[in-house]
Structures are given as C-alpha cells and as structure tokens.
Amino acid sequence: MTAFLRRILFVDNEESQIQVMQRMLTRLGYYAEFANNANEALQILDNGEFPLIITDLKMPEMDGAELCRRIRKVKPESFIYAFSGYLADFDVEKLEESGFDGHLNKPVEMKVLEYAIEGAFEKIEQRKATAARALPSSS
C-alpha cells in the first residue's frame, strides 16, 4: 500500500527539468512518472493513481493552473504543487484559487524537495484518515 501512496507525477515541458527531477526523485527513493505537457499528464492520470502531482506553471497549450483546475475536477483528493522559476510572476492567492496545495521554486534543492514531498504525503495520509472517520460505520 505504501508504494501506491508514494507515486508522483511530474509535469514539465523542459526535458532538462525532467531529467534533473528524475535523478533527484530516484535518489530520494520515490516512484515517479513524467509528462512533457498537460495533456500527456491528464492521460497518465486517467490510467493510474498519483496522489502527488508537481507541475510547471508555464507550458504551451495548457498552463499549470488550468491543469490543476482540471485535475481537481476528477481527482480532488490529489496534492498538487506548482513548480516554476517564475513564481514572482504569479499571484500566490490565484495559485491557491486554482487548487494548488503549495509551490516550489526552480531550481529546487534536494532537501527542500524531500521535505515538500514528505509533507505532502503526510497531508495525504491525514486527509484519508479524516475521510475514513467521516464515513458512517456499518454496525
């Protein structure tokens, strides 16, 4: 069950960012899949569960904010980080309105990434526990 919970989808249109993140996530021991654009990410999400999604904000065709809104419609329980080298260009409130749970700056340091991922998985576990307690018991 832990392997299922620790799956990450990383979305970025820059191949160099994907390669760097692939090395970092592998070194940290996480299972991840990678998408080069938002449409590819949505296809991957149709075929698998990824509790944590990290997405670039500036991408052609569909930006990260729109991707986040679409994910929220079909997988509202997902934990989604915005990932950008241009976070100063974005209003943090608007990112939250789009559905992001947090944000990471490019380039991200290994320790910051590890801390953010572990925090996300802890929050995912808390959400699941809260949802389970909210269900009526079948006695």
Share of the chain above pLDDT 70, in %: 94
For the stretch 87-103, pLDDT in tens is: 777 778 888 999 999 99
pLDDT at 134 over 90: no
pLDDT at 1 over 70: no
- Which pLDDT score is estimated for 137? 64
For the segment 126-132, the average pLDDT, to the nearest whole number, is 84
Q: Which structural domains are found in the chain, ordered by start? A: 2-134 (3.40.50.2300)
Q: What is the mean pLDDT of the chain?
A: 91
For the stretch 21-32, pLDDT in tens is: 999 999 999 999
Q: CA-CA distance, 98 to 92, in Å (whole number)? A: 10
Q: CA-CA distance, 41 to 123, in Å (whole number)? A: 22
Q: CA-CA distance, 139 to 133, in Å (whole number)? A: 14
For the stretch 29-54, pLDDT in tens is: 999 999 999 999 999 999 999 999 99
Q: Give, in degrees to the nearest 5, the angle at Cα 63 between 122 and 9.
A: 35
